[in-house]
Each structure stands twice: as C-alpha cells, then as structure tokens.
Structure 1
Amino acid sequence: MPGFTRPAENAVSKQADRLFAQPLAQVPDFVFNEDVVRVFPDMIKRSVPGYPTIVENIGVLAGQFAQPHSILYDLGSSLGAVTQALRRHVQIADCRVIAVDNSPAMVERSREYLHAQDSMFQELLPVEVIEADILSLDLQPTSLVALNFTLQFIQPEQRLTLLTRIRQALLPGGALILSEKLRFADQAQHNLLNELHIAFKRANGYSELEIAQKRSAIEKVMLPDSLEQHRERLLEAGFSQVVPWFQCLNFASLVALP
C-alpha cells in the first residue's frame, strides 16, 4: 500500500520496468517469462491504477466469505500478492490457500516471496503453490476464489466454461472475486478512460515509446470484456448476484455470489 512497506515486501524485487524502453525492431507478444517476473511488481504498480487497493481488499473481502475447513483459491496467482493478502486477513479455522499459475518463473519466485512472508508473520494460513493450467485444474470444494486480472488472458470462448466450473466448486455462502481491465461499448467513454489510463502511465514515468510498445505486445494477448459482458457471463455460469465493489479508470473488481 502507498506510504508504508510490509515486512514481507522487503523480499520482493525492486527492479524497475525497462522492458520496452529501447526501440524494438519487432515487438513480440507479451509472455510472463523471467524478464517480466523480474520487473513485475514495478510494472503492475505503474500500469494498473488501484492495484494495491484491490489486492489488499481482496484479503479483507475474503474474510467475509471464507469458511472453516475449506480451500481458498488464487487462480492466476503470478507472484502471490493476492495469496499474501488472503493469508494476512483470513483467520478462519483450518483454511488453506492454493495458488495456481502456469508460468514456471512466476511460480518459482512466488514460492520465494511466500517463504519470506512465513518468516515475518506467525499463524498464517498454509499455502500450496502449483504450476498448472487453471483451465484443466480439478477444483476442490472452495469458499473463495480470486481471479485477479487473470480471465482477460484466457481465450474468450473458454471463459464461460472456467466460470461455470468455479461456480460448481463454490460452497454455499462462498464468493468469486474477479478483477479485470474493462472495455466500454460507448466509444467516447472508452476513448476517454483509455486516454486517462495512458496519462496514469505517463505520470508513473513511462515514456511514449514504452507505452506504445507495451500496447503492441499485449493487444493480442489480453482481451478485455465490458462490465455488461462480465455480468451476463457470470449469471450464465450460475451465479445469482454480481456486485462491482471497485473501479478506478478502466480497471474494476467484482464480487460474484452463488
């Protein structure tokens, strides 16, 4: 969170994101490789408005839905920021966290960060970090699932199937917390929020070259939906309520209830 540093964050890489600072003859598609992992904490903080607030409050919200003797899932866990928030805030008997990511580099570094968290705090929820494709993961009964900026990297035709499987795994009284970048059907609104997002990146020190090259790298990989599309898909997957709880520019987080 802005203004202070938690002890576990001391272990997190402080390397600045300069991946797109030099002109590239051909900009490759964005992948979560070792180069990205090294700078990911800086990249996400400077690219996603409201990210620290979303992550910390996923932990707070999870405390309202987590149930005794259940699993909490962090799907697409990257470096484990949400997993760390879950472990800090959820104090329910016999819960455990399963964090899943398909990037070997992310999984390896996440395990290091979680080990550092263990050394700084006592009585945290146990956690298991798994390298796997969440589309083929056998989901166990769960009271809380976090998809934090993950669904947008899954092919659109596969999203409903994943959300349906999550809904079927959720225990009564549980919840899915879904955070995503949004696109907007109204073109004027879409353009305005896109320009404001670019201004946010400029204010965080990214050059026009970095912004343009990053956009080129990610545009075929990250495919955002509108809030209306998210709501309709979640209802089709079997959720009964979809409640937006946070939005900053074109980034939002929702709570979906079974």
Structure 2
Amino acid sequence: MSKDNIYDTPQLSIAGFRFDRAVASVFPDMIKRSVPGYETIIAMTGTLAERYVQSGSRCYDLGCSLGASTIAMRHHIPHDNCQIIAVDNSEAMLAQCREVLAQDDGRVPVELLFDDVQNVEVTNASMAVLNFTLQFIPVAQRSELLQHIADGLRPGGVLVLSEKVAFEDPQHQQLMIELHHNFKRANGYSDLEISQKRSALEDVLVPETLAVHRQRLRDAGFSSVDVWFQCFNFASLIAIK
C-alpha cells in the first residue's frame, strides 16, 4: 500500500481535489488515515448485504472507487442469481478497481461502469451504497439522485449512505473538526498536509447535517431512516424502502 504524501510539500496554488491517478495510487492509505471508522463501515456493508439483498436483484455501488464496498457485498450476498453494478466517474479509480476485482474470488458477477452516478439507471435493486459519494454531488442535485435510487429499489430494499457531516451548533462543529484533525495527526499527517488538503476539498466536498440527510431520504420515499454508525464528523445512515 503506497503512502499518501500528496500534500506533504508546500504548494503555491492548491487545485480542487480530484480522484486522479495520484489519488488512486495512494487511496487505501489516504482513506484509512483520514476517515475514522471507514473499515468498520465497509465490513458492515457486507453484513447488511447478507441481511437485505434479495434473490434475483441488483446491488449498486455508486462511487465505487477501488471497490471496497463492492467486495464486501460480493462476499456476503447469500444468493447466486444477483449482480453488482459498480460505478465511478474516475478512470484512474476504475482501472485500479478492475485489477483489485480480478484478484478477488467472489462469486457474484460485477459490472464496472465508467459514468457519473447521476446518469446510471437504478432498476430491480435491493441494495445501493453511497459511501462518501453524495458529498461530492452539487447540493441542488442530491434530492434527485436519492429519489432516483429510491424509485429503483424493491420494497424492503436498503440504501447505505455514508457522509462527512456538519453540525448546527457552531461549538460542536468546531470540536468535531478539531477531533478529526487530531485523528489525522495521530495517523502521521502533518499540519501542512491537513491544511492543504482541507483547502483542496473546500467547495468540492460539501457536508450537510444529519437532519438534512434524514429529511431528504424521507422525502425520497424511504420508510425507515437512521444513523447506524458515527465517529466525529463521519456518519453512516441506513434507509429502508
């Protein structure tokens, strides 16, 4: 696993964050050291697949990156007649995802799609995953995407939505930011790296409150919505149709 050192030297001009070849090459290290609870969320995605995936249905990994959620589902789906559709709009990410999947011994077939998740038709689905994907979609377009997913899910189907979240209380918001930065420092990131990456993500990753996420999911038609995991300003919700 290559070490993430993308922001370890001073940069005169910091471009907006992109999932390019440089990020793809260090992504496992980057996300492990940046997102508290990421490994738990991925592992439990597999557990949820075992519980909710229905026979003869499709599962969607929307914003699949290197395929961690896809593999978690693939190894826990209890039926032989299902399919996983894994989608990403980064060619660099999909190229490495393809290599990862080629070495995986899961039996469930996986179709990789190079496309924007907003363009993908969701049909006959019993599970969809948006793990740290919605936060990169323009805010005005998020409701439409969730509605599209809800419409394509079978009754009883589930959406796993994991996001970096914001807090209404300014004091609590600042505390969570500081705790997250301390988490990154404990994982070897310098203050320079933390600062420069934060600048790169500004206006690219736009977090919202859990209340906003809950209401949007209910408005899309999900009957049951709540948080199942949270650590600092990172949370994962389960929405059941």
**TM-score, length of structure 1 as denominator length:** 0.92
Give secondary structure in 2 for the equivalent of 1:117: coil
Give secondary structure in 1 for the equivalent of 2:118: coil
How much has 1:240 moved relative to structure 2?
1.2
**Paired position in structure 2 for 1:60:** 47
Is 1:131 aligned to residue 118 of structure 2?
no
**Paired position in structure 1 for 2:97:** 110
Map 1:137-216; keep pairs closer than 5 Å.
137-216=120-199
Q: Distance in 2 between matches of 1:249 and 1:139?
A: 32
Give secondary structure in 2 for the equivalent of 1:235: helix
State the one-letter code of the partner of 2:193. E
Q: Distance in 2 between matches of 1:139 and 1:190?
A: 35
Query: Which whole-Å deviations, capped at 9, do the CAs of 1:108-145 have from their partners, x for residues lacking one?
Result: 11010000113xx5xx2111111011111122220000
How much has 1:72 moved relative to structure 2?
0.4
Q: Distance in 2 between matches of 1:73 and 1:212?
A: 34
Give secondary structure in 2 for the equivalent of 1:78: coil
**Paired position in structure 2 for 1:10:** none
Is 1:79 aligned to residue 62 of structure 2?
no
Q: Distance in 2 between matches of 1:89 and 1:139?
A: 21
Query: Which whole-Å deviations, capped at 9, do the CAs of 1:207-247 have from their partners, x for residues lacking one?
Result: 00000000000011000110000001111111111021101
Q: Distance in 2 between matches of 1:32 and 1:93?
A: 33
Query: Which whole-Å deviations, capped at 9, do the CAs of 1:13-72 have from their partners, x for residues lacking one?
Result: x11000000000101100000000000000000000000000010110121110000000
Query: Which whole-Å deviations, capped at 9, do the CAs of 1:137-167 have from their partners, x for residues lacking one?
Result: 1222200000000000000000000000100
Q: Give structure 1 stretches of 5+ with no counterpart.
A: 1-13
Is 1:252 aligned to residue 235 of structure 2?
yes
Alignment root-mean-square deviation, CA = 0.8
Is 1:92 aligned to residue 62 of structure 2?
no
State the one-letter code of the partner of 2:116. D
Give secondary structure in 1 for the equivalent of 2:119: coil
Q: Distance in 2 between matches of 1:91 and 1:241?
A: 23
Query: Which whole-Å deviations, capped at 9, do the CAs of 1:77-105 have from their partners, x for residues lacking one?
Result: 00000001001111223011110000011
**Paired position in structure 2 for 1:22:** 9
**Paired position in structure 1 for 2:38:** 51
Give secondary structure in 1 for the equivalent of 2:162: strand
Q: Distance in 2 between matches of 1:104 and 1:203?
A: 32
State the one-letter code of the partner of 1:114. L
Q: Give structure 2 stretches of 5+ with no counterpart.
A: none
Query: How high is the sequence identity, in percent, across the aligned residues?
Result: 51
Number of aligned residue pairs: give it: 241
Is 1:228 aligned to residue 211 of structure 2?
yes
After TM superposition, what 4+ stretches of structure 1 lie above 3 angstroms from structure 2?
none
**TM-score, length of structure 2 as denominator length:** 0.98
**Paired position in structure 2 for 1:6:** none
Q: Distance in 2 between matches of 1:219 and 1:56?
A: 29
Deviates more, 1:234-243 or 1:141-150: 234-243
Q: Distance in 2 between matches of 1:87 and 1:136?
A: 23
